[in-house]
Amino acid sequence: MVTPVTSTRSSTINVFTEGARDAITFGVAFIFLYLSIGILSATQSLSLSQALATTLLIFSTPLQFLLIQSHNDGWILVPIILALNARFVLLSATLAPYIRNTSTSKTMASLILITPSIFTGCVTRFKRKTDRPFTYMIGLGLPIFGVSIICTYVGFIAGAELTSPVIYAAMTLLLPLQFTALAGKHWPHYSEVSSYWLGFVGAPLLVYLFKDYSLLCTPFIIGGLIVLIENTYKKRGGVAP
């Protein structure tokens, strides 16, 4: 006889497994990104504990690369850090309605898992199914977070042995594939998918215009453009593409 407790536990395990399975799609590129972070940390004369701390406490690849490469710049990094982290306010606000029934302690402990890739996986799934959203987020985020920590360690220890053209060629190949997979997860929500090809088309121009600040400016410009397009459709009484 199946009791309600057994049924609930089985459902929780199934949702967690679903998230872990989706982590394969979203997490492949993290292997090479965090191998690179480990390698870069070693070349910048950081200690192993410092390298691991950037992943354990920050877990944001653009910010980690920035801090590792410019860790001697001091307070000048503060406005850049604030600008980079501003996106997480928006990501968290979007996820909040789905996980509002989760305890504050669990929510606070899971905040480190909120990255754009994990956010995309969660929102895509929540549009289809809203059962046990927090369990799904943990199932998706924990494997990616764990692999990222391990790869940071391996990259730091291996160091020079991994600084081969093969690693960078693999990153060049896998990162576009990951973003293609992320875009595919949004189909058929055209406005979300369009943000990917707008980024693809607009990035070269924005890099040319903003140089070193393109990493900060591009997401805000593309995101703002998508919002303007959606609002224009709504004002005309139509449905956002």
pLDDT, residue 186, reads 62
∠ at Cα 73 (70, 74), nearest 5°?
A: 120
Backbone Cα Rg of the chain: 19
Does residue 195 sit in the same domain as residue 157? no
Per-residue pLDDT reduced to its tens digit, 97-143: 998 888 989 988 998 898 888 888 888 888 888 889 999 999 999 99
pTM: 0.73
User: Does 83 map to a domain?
Assistant: yes
pLDDT, residue 235, reads 73
Does residue 105 sit in the same domain as residue 149? yes
Does residue 127 sit in the same domain as residue 230? no
Does residue 204 sit in the same domain as residue 134? no
Where do the DSSP E strands lie in the chain? none
Give the residue from 148, 168, 145 showing the smallest Cα distance to 156. Answer: 148
Does residue 35 sit in the same domain as residue 127? yes
Does residue 55 sit in the same domain as residue 170? yes
> How much of the chain exceeds pLDDT 90, in percent?
17
Does residue 39 sit in the same domain as residue 85? yes
Could you give the number of structural domains in the chain?
2
Does residue 161 sit in the same domain as residue 206? no
Q: Which domain holds residue 220?
A: 187-241
**C-alpha distances in Å from residue 84, one per residue of 88, 90, 113, 119:** 8, 12, 16, 16
pLDDT, residue 15, reads 92
